[in-house]
Chains A and B, each alone.
Chain A
Amino acid sequence: AQSVTQLGSHVSVSEGALVLLRCNYSSSVPPYLFWYVQYPNQGLQLLLKYTSAATLVKGINGFEAEFKKSETSFHLTKPSAHMSDAAEYFCAVSAGGATNKLIFGTGTLLAVQP
């Protein structure tokens, strides 16, 4: 069965520092992977998705993620954090088959310190 694990429920960085949010997946088939962001009092918004094309995926707001099959990872990075990046981030993997059901991780709350 498909699953994702997000390491670190809380991550704190300084403004301008590198952001690294970790996600490892388990999938019995080639996975489709997604990162979502949730700002306070809002729904989840798609940041980027991996669908087996390029392994380095660029998303919105300067975020990118690299698919590494050998490490079963799909970590999210941003070179320089901005105060507006403070939010909760969710990694998800497609459940597979004909459905578009997603299996979500438990989320990582990113704090950005001035």
Chain B
Amino acid sequence: DAGVIQSPRHEVTEMGQEVTLRCKPISGHNSLFWYRQTMMRGLELLIYFNNNVPIDDSGMPEDRFSAKMPNASFSTLKIQPSEPRDSAVYFCASSPLGGGGNQPQHFGDGTRLSIL
């Protein structure tokens, strides 16, 4: 079975440019999560969706970050304009809904973003 697919795997761009990260969740999973991982701050939850609807975006660092989920099989995380401090590994994860929280999340391999 295909896991969570993220693209690109690596992105290097100059500050001020728009960056778009993409995620395809596992088919049938209704919850989708975006995380950021850095050495300094560890693993941070940015936003998550249930049934394509954003539920909690309190982890989004500022207005330069936005996320969408136009359908059940695709989500994007956009940074505009990008800054060097946005350099990190961004992970997407998905899980089935239900179970009262007993469903594990399945992670993609991440996008390593470097802003010069």
Contact = CB atoms under 8 A, between A and B. Distances in A.
Given A97-B101, A98-B100, A99-B101, A46 B106 contact: yes
A90 B45 CA distance: 14
What band does the interface of chain A fall in when counting residues whose beta carbon is under 8 Å from B? 20 to 34
B82 interface: no
B104 A106 contact: no
A51 interface: yes
Contacts of B48: 99, 101
Given A34-B104, A45-B107, A99-B50, 14 more contacts: A32-B100, A43-B107, A44-B93, A44-B107, A49-B102, A51-B102, A94-B102, A96-B100, A99-B31, A99-B101, A100-B99, A101-B45, A101-B48, A107-B42
Interface of B: 4, 31, 33, 42-43, 45, 48, 50, 55-56, 91, 93, 95-97, 99-110, 112
